[in-house]
Amino acid sequence: MEEVVTTPVDATKEAKPSLQAPEARFKLSQRHVDLALAEQSVHRARGRHMSVEEILKRNGFRIEEEETKSKGKVGLRQDLNMQSLRLYVPTSIQTAMGICLLDLKEGVLRVATGDRFDESELERIILALKRGKCDVEDVEIEPWDRAELARLMRDQTEVASERLVRIFATLSRDPDNATMVEQAVYDILAEACQSRTSDIHLTLQEDDVRCWIRYRVDGDITYKHLLPNRVMAPIVTRIKTESKMDAADRQHPQDGRLSFEWQGRMIDVRVASLPVAPSGEKITMRLLDRDNLRSFDELFSNAPDVAKRIRRVVHGNVKDGGLIVVSGPTGSGKSTTLYGIIQEIDRTAKAVYSVESPVEYDMPLVDQTSVTDHSGMGLADAVRALMRHDPDVIIIGEMRDGDTVEAALRATESGHLVITTVHAVNALHVLDRIDGFLSSTYRTSGLYILGHALIGALSQRLVKTVCPACHKQMNAMDVFGDENRIQDMGLIGDDRVAIADRKGCDLCNRSGFLGRTLALEALFPPEDQASKRSITEMILSNVTNSVVDVPGTIFIPREATIRDLIKRRVIDAHMGAALLVEEMAGKAR
């Protein structure tokens, strides 16, 4: 299929003229463009304009961004809105200067100013942004009316976390104020989004000192707000009501969902309630922001060989069947990896189905089936039913029992690509876990299929990354002072390593860490039939550790990934050294 080069479409113009514009940002086949244009016409009929680029991004198609870094340049080009700029230049500093930072696009910083701005302060602003690795090439000063600037400052300062303090004080005096309760729920969700929270925990107890709102950020729980019972109770009731749960029932576990709009997009929230002793209730909310899902390239940026192998499989046109298994503990990002792989599949040319318990992210151009306790069918039933719907790719949220494993293996046997997850401690343990699920009557047949269908087994952990703004760089010898220990990490004494600043900065919320990355282990067996037969015999004989010795096998141990992250100064050197020790000790057992 001939490729058509398209460019970003301005929201106020027609989409078609941009399809042949010379400044290409992404390359897509004609069917992708046709699909986007058809969807665009539907939105127009509803009175809403969406550009072709917006529709393509919404459908999860990979956009190939223009290169924004010149060769050898260290600084990063970032497009930041007012919300993001507050991370680098706090609102208190902006207010003291009498300015508002509007945005940073294409290296140009826009600043709204009044009549008392001292341009000598610009250097201070630029230094603060550069500290956050923001590339500022030019500054545009925009004079604003004093009243309008004051309003903008007020709106800028009015962030959810600051407003929550006042709302909680009001509710403490008047807990039946429904408007304030509604605003409190929204601001809790907004504050969580602003702080990169994955899960919100609310505990309701009769004892006021146990009514905490906690956020999980980068894997760690943070105690955020301590509220009186009379304030927490109406908030919990409101959340359960919005989630279509029985607010009066505090004796049984319940599940629900709600959504809210934040920064112009809808955020889905999965809600679960649980009775806790002595007479309380626990609410857990998982934030599902599809815009924050990492792309395939981002997920495997540290493992190009893994990305190349998976990409070749999902882009293949021959229906040979196959199995890709992602493993890891709870909270290690397995579902995120599944969704990243889905985005790499050309869903305009292949029928992609998913079976999940329950569906987390709504993925365009994927037929998703949610299996819950109330759906009347299990994962295995849903997979077997899908076989009558002409699938090319089947996504199974998790293989958690023998029936699901058998259904998945039978699907690969009939020529379908199956991508799924399982709980296993490492890539080789994936084979043992699948073996353990199989019944005695199906084990021989199932393991024969596994040996021939297995494309790859991934095992992942999430490791905190150092804050790019405040971390320190030191010589490895100065940090560890032991040549043998340095060599174990694949370094030499003169190599520079990253050390997190435990005092932190505004960007990382005084933690020293910002975000997490994958510490990946990968196993890809060879593709020739002789090797597959050898691997099958090893699996049947319970000697799966020997699989890595089969000629042609690609095996990337997690230790190699951790050493690479240390060497590239992505993670804290002390943390990386501890992870290496844990990993080696675990494999020695």
User: Alpha-carbon distance 169 to 182, whole Å?
Assistant: 15
Contact 211, 236 (CB under 8 A): no
In a domain, 240, yes or no: yes
CATH number at 344 reads 3.40.50.300
In a domain, 70, yes or no: no
Is the same domain home to 298 and 440? Answer: yes
Q: Does residue 109 sit in helix, strand or coil? A: strand
Amino acid at 412: T
Q: Which pLDDT belongs to residue 561? A: 92
Residue 206: which residues within 8 A CB-CB, separation 6 or more? 229, 278, 279, 280
* 358 closest CA partner among 345, 344, 373: 373
In a domain, 327, yes or no: yes
Is the same domain home to 500 and 413? Answer: no
Is the same domain home to 215 and 260? Answer: yes
Contact 522, 554 (CB under 8 A): yes
CA atoms within 13 A on the CB side of 527: 9
Is the same domain home to 337 and 442? Answer: yes
Is the same domain home to 406 and 550? Answer: yes
Q: Which pLDDT belongs to residue 195? A: 82
Is the same domain home to 400 and 481? Answer: no
CATH number at 106 reads 3.30.300
In a domain, 373, yes or no: yes
* 190 closest CA partner among 127, 243, 269, 297: 269
Is the same domain home to 564 and 525? Answer: no
Q: Which pLDDT belongs to residue 69? A: 37
* E-state strands within 63-178: 80-81, 99-105, 108-113, 138-143
Strands ordered across the beta sheet of 454-466: 367-370, 352-356, 393-396, 417-422, 322-327, 454-466, 513-524, 554-556
Q: For residue 102, give its domain range.
A: 80-157
- Choosing from 100, 130, 157, the residue where a domain stops is 157
Q: Helices 443-453 & 429-437, crossing angle to 10 degrees?
A: 150
Q: pLDDT tens per residue, the chain (589 residues)?
A: 333 333 333 333 333 333 333 333 335 677 788 888 888 888 778 777 777 777 887 777 765 543 333 333 333 445 666 656 766 776 667 777 778 888 888 788 888 887 666 777 787 788 778 766 677 888 888 888 777 777 666 655 556 677 888 899 999 999 999 999 999 999 999 889 878 899 999 999 999 989 999 999 888 898 999 999 999 999 999 999 999 999 999 999 999 999 988 766 788 999 999 999 888 999 999 998 877 778 888 888 878 888 889 998 888 877 788 999 999 988 888 888 998 899 889 898 899 999 998 888 888 899 999 887 676 788 999 999 999 999 999 999 999 899 999 999 999 998 999 999 999 989 999 999 999 999 999 999 999 999 999 999 999 999 999 988 788 999 999 888 888 888 888 888 789 999 999 888 766 778 888 888 889 999 999 989 999 999 999 999 989 889 999 999 999 999 999 999 999 999 999 999 999 988 888 766 6
Number of domains, the chain:
5
- Choosing from 289, 323, 346, the residue where a domain stops is 289
Q: Which pLDDT belongs to residue 103? A: 81
Q: Which pLDDT belongs to residue 155? A: 58
Dihedral (CA of 24, 30, 36, 42) sign:
positive
Contact 316, 448 (CB under 8 A): no
- Choosing from 96, 124, 157, the residue where a domain stops is 157
pLDDT tens per residue, range 75-114? 344 566 665 676 677 666 777 777 888 888 878 888 888 7
Reading the block at residue 128, the tokens are: 């603060």
Q: Which pLDDT belongs to residue 417? A: 94
The model's pTM: 0.74
Is the same domain home to 552 and 587? Answer: no
User: Alpha-carbon distance 332 to 218, whole Å?
Assistant: 11
Q: Which pLDDT belongs to residue 68? A: 35
Is the same domain home to 203 and 323? Answer: no
Is the same domain home to 274 and 303? Answer: no
Amino acid at 132: G
In a domain, 73, yes or no: no
Q: Which pLDDT belongs to residue 135? A: 79
Is the same domain home to 219 and 322? Answer: no
Is the same domain home to 265 and 393? Answer: no
Annotate 435-463 with b (16+ C-beta within 10 A) or e (fewer). bebbeeebeeebbbbbbbbbbbbbbbbbb
Q: Which pLDDT belongs to residue 249? A: 92
Q: Which pLDDT belongs to residue 497? A: 93
* 560 closest CA partner among 455, 493, 477, 488: 488
Q: Which pLDDT belongs to residue 62? A: 60
Length of the chain counted residue by residue: 589
Reading the block at residue 548, the tokens are: 């890595």
In a domain, 440, yes or no: yes
In a domain, 315, yes or no: yes
In a domain, 65, yes or no: no
